């Protein structure tokens, strides 16, 4: 007995999903969501700039300068043997009022007995104490939030991540330590690059 020959089927139609298939609806929903997200990304909403910023010059900054101090700025000042108030006055050529938030004091207290000198400096009566109303004791978020709300501060920090975050806020100068001296960045009076 011989083998039966199979005939080839020409013009065979591929099977298609019915247009009412549930899988297609999910794909359409996903596609619509992607399109909406792309439209939202295409629309650039710039935050409203306060009236004190006139041509990127912050008119709210005037002597006496209020300097918002971070935890690591106090620690690095001690390591470099820098006097905080006199060093700031030498850097800015004006009177300075150092401001310390409750979060910074809480961070210094958490660091333990090794940082008791920094804590004693932060509790100096010449420093202005700023009360915090938010939850938690993370000082970086507190400083960024306070600076975006009112741009009357100079932020003093040595933390690179915090400096990167503060640079995104227009009109806020930064102070940090370079070569055992205080340096200021983005202060329009001194012609620093913006």
Cβ–Cβ < 8 Å for 151, 54: no
pLDDT of residue 61: 87
CATH superfamily placement of domain 60-190: 5'-nuclease (3.40.50.1010)
Q: What is the pLDDT of residues 85-141, one digit of tens each?
A: 999 999 999 999 999 999 999 999 999 999 999 999 999 999 999 999 888 888 999
**Cis ω for the linkage preceding 29 (within 30 of 0):** no
pLDDT of residue 163: 95
Q: Which residue has the higher pLDDT, 10 or 74?
A: 74
Q: What is the pLDDT of residues 31-61, one digit of tens each?
A: 889 998 888 877 766 667 776 776 567 778 8
User: In 3D, which of 194, 149, 191 has the Cα closest to residue 171?
Assistant: 194
* Domains of the chain by residue range: 60-190
CA distances from 67 to 8, 57, 62, 74, 179 (A): 86, 18, 12, 12, 20
């Amino acid at each position: 007995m011989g083998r039966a020959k199979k005939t080839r089927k020409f013009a065979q139609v591929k099977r298609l999903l019915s247009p009412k298939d549930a899988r297609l609806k999910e794909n359409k929903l996903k596609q619509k969501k992607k399109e909406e997200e792309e439209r939202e990304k295409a629309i650039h909403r710039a935050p409203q700039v306060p009236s004190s910023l006139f041509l990127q010059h912050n008119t709210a900054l005037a002597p006496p300068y209020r300097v918002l101090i971070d935890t690591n700025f106090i620690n690095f000042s001690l390591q470099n043997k820098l006097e905080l108030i006199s060093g700031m006055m030498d850097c800015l050529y004006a009177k300075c009022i150092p401001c310390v938030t409750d979060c910074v004091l809480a961070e210094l207290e958490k660091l333990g007995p090794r940082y008791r000198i920094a804590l004693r400096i932060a509790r100096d009566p010449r420093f202005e104490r700023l009360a915090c109303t938010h939850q938690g004791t993370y000082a970086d978020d507190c400083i960024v939030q306070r600076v975006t709300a009112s741009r009357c501060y100079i932020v003093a920090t040595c933390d690179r991540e915090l400096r990167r975050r503060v640079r995104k806020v227009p009109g806020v100068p930064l102070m940090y330590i370079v070569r055992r001296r205080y340096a200021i960045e983005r202060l329009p009076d001194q012609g620093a690059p913006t």
